[in-house]
Structure 1
């Protein structure tokens, strides 16, 4: 999974302008983020139409605020720079819940 740091900009519209993306917001101290992290490689492999980008919520706090990310882990989907869905709350997320969210985007 790429990191937002891997891009030359943190402007979400620019980063996500050329395809389908899912931004995965988390933080190193977050136990619910640690719970879903082991499943992320499988989820990525199951959804090759999407490019997954990890966003460290603490490092990019202004972006999280701009996008209304109050709880983590959270997922925000984009298609060619436009938000198409979000799975944003403070609850622990299971692999099945994340997959259901991605399936609902199609």
Structure 2
């Protein structure tokens, strides 16, 4: 994908820019700061929980969490899952004070409400369940 594109992705089949099968749920990926900011503005008007997975291609623990996020996207249909590569959107990573990977920032009404750092499936799941209602 080019630097100015964003898409729903399915990395389970190594296709970029396609909608994932329904059994997995949707995960949005942003490669443009302006598109990310526009999307964030829209979500400020809803009470929907958003989970941002900050990741990098070179990060092994990030790749370990990819199937976990796909699983969560299937389980928690009312939660929006976002994938942001810190090397592509450094400004967004700085904005959320991401200093270690993987990092997960939970957002409601456009504001960060919590954060999980590390490949911590159970901790992330508990936070999702706490904030999704």
Identify the TM-score tier after normalising by the shorter chain: 0.7 to 0.9
Check conservation: 1:21, 1:77, Cα contact below 8 A. Answer: yes
Segments of 5+ residues of structure 1 without an aligned counterpart are none
1:4 corresponds to which residue?
30
Query: How many residues end up aligned between the 2 structures?
Result: 103
**Does the 8 Å CA contact 1:23/1:54 hold for their aligned counterparts?**
yes
Q: Give the alignment of 1:47-86 within 5 angstroms.
A: 47-86=76-115
Contact 1:24–1:75, Cα closer than 8 Å, also in 2: yes
- TM-score, scaled relative to structure 2: 0.67
Q: Report which structure shows greater RCO (CA 8 Å, sep ≥6).
A: 1
Q: Say what the alpha-carbon RMSD is for the aligned residues.
A: 2.2
1:14 alignment counterpart: 41
Tell which deviates more after alignment, 67-76 or 12-21. 12-21
Offset at 1:97?
Answer: 2.5
Query: How far does residue 26 in structure 1 lie from its aligned partner after superposition?
Result: 0.4
Please say which structure displays the higher CA radius of gyration: 2
Q: Which residue of 2 aligns with 1:43?
A: 72
1:53–1:97 distance in 2 versus 1, CA, 3 Å:
same
Residue ranges of structure 2 left out of the alignment (5+ in a row): 1-26
How far apart, CA to CA, are the structure 1 residues paired with 2:92 and 2:32? 16
What is the TM-score with the length of structure 1 in the denominator?
0.81
